[in-house]
Structure 1
Amino acid sequence: MQENRSFDSYFGTFPRADGFPTKDGHVDVCSIDPRSPTGCQLPYHDAALVNVGGPHNVGAAAVDMAGGRMDGFVEEDLAAPSKGCEDIHDPNCRPGSQGAIDVMGYHDAREIPNYWSYAQAFVLQDHMFEPNLGWSLPSHLFTVSAWSAKCDRRKAMRCSSDLENPDLQPDKNHPFLPHYAWTDLTYLLYTHHVSWAYYLDQGYQPDCDDGAATCAPERQTVGVPEIWNPLPDFIDVHQDGQLGNIQDAGNFFTAAKDGTLPAVSWVVPNQRDSEHPPANISDGQAWVTSLINAVMQGPDWSSSAIFLTWDDWGGFYDHVVPPRLDENGYGLRVPGIVISPYARAGLIDHQTLSFDAYLKFIEDDFLGGARLDPRTDGRPDSRPTVREDARILGNLAADFDFFQTPIPPLILPVRPPPGAASTG
């Protein structure tokens, strides 16, 4: 799970994908820009490896989408606070907010050649939507539990949807008391005796806790719940004695080499390799490439399915209106790539997908179709929807052909030279 990129910002010019709309061979979209003589700003190729991005909370999503016109990205960015971060969890805060507006910029194989190589050799999903209209924390919660909520401290099982700030303020009397009371996927994995691990690249997250324009990022470690590491805050993880499954990412490389990867793994970055502005996108690509190379060079490659995505759109432009599922979303499009010996090589998957599809795939593959459903999983919660069973949600099984000749490993250089300019 990488950070903060829209589909169009990475694959808007990818051949055959649902990228930028064109007319007479030219990009035909407009994002309202009161600074421009034409009143518009068009998408443009951005060769910069360090970006600023834009606000990406619920309010920002509404402005960006502009009632379905998808033309509010520049306006929202211009209206963003010009000061630094006052709240550690405020996704409106962004570095360099007095600098250039780059939310309409896009990259292609010149900046991210490995990502384009994976998309060409395996499966690219061009209708993968963030599961909610919020920012990083809700997205990471959806990735492990198909919900983002805030629970009552006095009645832990009383939870309600929350996409703004589902993280409760620490209880000074019980600072380490977990407070996510609804069910996450690890509970089903545990009860079905399926191995799992959540690998965290320890380091820092790009969060500020004061009003300065720049600040020291927040530390992230395996045992401490944070935005990109929510599982230590789930009550069922504690009750099941599974905290030890949250591990340093170095263990991933060891397990990949030894052929001892668990059945299900999540892998999340730190600030430097996350692609979250202002991180250098080539550092993120290098990190992801090293992970994929490790699997491909190990004994588990023959039975692996790697799903690569980005947690939210990061304020960057995308032209597709998200489908409406329930009170929580879907959110804007993000890139999705499937890498496996049995991936349907060169496929552009146009199914409507969200991170719920990952949970559905795991549940169908390992859990006999069990769902995160309070009517059947033995742990009551008040989630509004069993997301995995949504009619609109596609099936990741369509991205595989288990009768084909297995695709051999595609070992790529961690620091590749620039690729060719896109022509799609």
Structure 2
Amino acid sequence: MIRARLAGVLGALVLLALPAMPARAAAPAATTPIRHFFVLMQEGHSFDNYFGTYPGADGLPAEACLPTDLSRAQRTSCIRPYPIGERSVEKLNHTAQTFALQRNGGRMDGFVDALRRRNQDGAVAMGYYTDADLPFYWNLADEYVLFDRYFSSAAAGNVWNRLFWLSGAPGAAQYQIPPGGYTDVPTIFDALEQRGLSWKVYIQNYDPAKTIHVAQRGGKMPAQVLRMPLLAMPRFIDDPRMFAHIASIDQYFEDVRTGTLPALAYIVPTSATEYPPGHPQNGQRFARGLLNTLMQSPAWNDSAFLLTYDDWGGWYDHVAPPASADGFGYGFRVPALLVSPYARRG
């Protein structure tokens, strides 16, 4: 579970999402060998879609075959999981409404039918990738930690889930960023500021001019704002000191080279997204570059790197999400890999 897992890993660094305080405290003494924690958030894939055939994982059931039309009394037609290979796939609908239809009261049999209702080819949802398509990610799973009970934070799409990534809550009743942005949402970065711990957000193809202010002036909401909601928070983007914590991905490589990495770094891909029609190979190349650079530096010896996904992207997953006490519900499982010298293989 993203909320529980992330809070647990960061527990030695900071208490999650406390309000900001005027004065900055001195950095506390380290109680863990991990001095640098990185989180790379990719887009839109379920666990079964990426690791459903990974040996030893809770992957695709042999009997899986989902009905094409749940409205029919005689459900004679069903779709089995199949390898996608090099096929080009379209963006699948993955709204909160689609989530509910796919979950179907916990029966987990609505993935094909829900997309059919959205005028999409529901059979696409049953596609999956294999070791041949994801060699780098599967190699990481072999050598480090692959989670097969890692659920996205909310039973909705990317906006809510990315707010959870920052704050542990969705921040608004609607599924879109409010016109005024998020004015009172406490974030993990506020908590880091309070404790005197360093942080940075690295964004691929970052343009500092593209914030929520573009939409407020009548333009289209920039894609990087949707991927990193900190750019929709006036207190971060209008304060030069706070805004300076947001940087391009080039700065990541420079910070590794100069030994100036922060305690916590969030990493946001844009052109290297794996979200359809983007291909998983794009994201693998991006992640490989980040990790290879880190592993070849002195910082590797005290680092941990979490690679995960914001939501399921409309793809099939056979495990029903657990109940939650916050009223928002967990989403479906997403891939998650923990890479570190201290990560036990398995």
Which of the five TM-score ranges fits, normalised by the shorter chain? 0.7 to 0.9
User: Relative to 1, partners in 2 of residues 1:276 and 1:300: Cα closer, same or farther, differing over 3 Å?
Assistant: same
Aligned residues with identical type, % of pairs: 34
Give secondary structure in 2 for the equivalent of 1:242. helix
Q: CA deviation at 1:76?
A: 1.1
**Residues 114 and 122, structure 2, Cα contact 8 Å, conserved in 1:** no
Give the distance between the partners of 2:222 and 2:205, measured in 1 at CA: 8
Match of 1:254 in 2: 254
2:308 counterpart letter in structure 1: T
1:71 counterpart letter in structure 2: D
Matches within 5 A, 1:187-336: 187-202=190-205, 219-220=222-223, 226-237=225-236, 241-270=241-270, 272-325=271-324, 326-336=326-336
Q: CA deviation at 1:243?
A: 1.2
Give secondary structure in 1 for the equivalent of 2:306. strand
Query: Which residue among 14, 17, 21 is the counterpart of 2:57?
Result: 17
Give the distance between the partners of 1:203 and 1:220, measured in 2 at CA: 10
Give secondary structure in 2 for the equivalent of 1:292. helix
Q: Deviations over 1:125-169 (max 9, x none)?
A: 00000000111111111101101122xxxxxxxxxxx2522x112
Aligned positions, number: 290
Match of 2:100 in 1: 62
Q: CA deviation at 1:48?
A: 2.4
| 1:169 maps onto 2:179 in alignment | yes
Q: Deviations over 1:171-216 (max 9, x none)?
A: xxxxxxx5331211111101111000011112699xxxxxxxxxxx
Structure 2 alignment gaps of length 5 or more: 1-40, 211-219
**Residues 5 and 316, structure 1, Cα contact 8 Å, conserved in 2:** yes
Match of 1:406 in 2: none
Query: Which residue among 33, 37, 51 is the counterpart of 2:89?
Result: 51
Give the distance between the partners of 1:243 and 1:120, measured in 2 at CA: 38
Q: TM-score when scaled to structure 2?
A: 0.78
* Higher RCO (CA 8 Å, separation ≥ 6 residues): 2
Q: CA deviation at 1:316?
A: 0.2
Q: CA deviation at 1:235?
A: 4.8
Match of 2:153 in 1: 131
Q: CA deviation at 1:233?
A: 2.4
Match of 1:411 in 2: none
**Residues 179 and 234, structure 1, Cα contact 8 Å, conserved in 2:** yes
Query: Which residue among 38, 46, 58 is the counterpart of 1:6?
Result: 46
Match of 1:372 in 2: none
**Residues 108 and 320, structure 2, Cα contact 8 Å, conserved in 1:** yes
Q: CA deviation at 1:248?
A: 0.8
Give the distance between the partners of 2:122 and 2:76, measured in 1 at CA: 18
Match of 1:185 in 2: 188
Structure 1 alignment gaps of length 5 or more: 22-26, 82-96, 151-161, 171-177, 206-216, 348-424
Q: CA deviation at 1:49?
A: 5.6
Q: Deviations over 1:356-397 (max 9, x none)?
A: xxxxxxxxxxxxxxxxxxxxxxxxxxxxxxxxxxxxxxxxxx
* The structure with more helix, counted as a fraction of residues: 2
Give secondary structure in 2 for the equivalent of 1:132. coil
Matches within 5 A, 1:333-412: 333-345=333-345, 347=346
Give secondary structure in 2 for the equivalent of 1:257. helix
Match of 1:114 in 2: 136
**Residues 132 and 139, structure 1, Cα contact 8 Å, conserved in 2:** yes
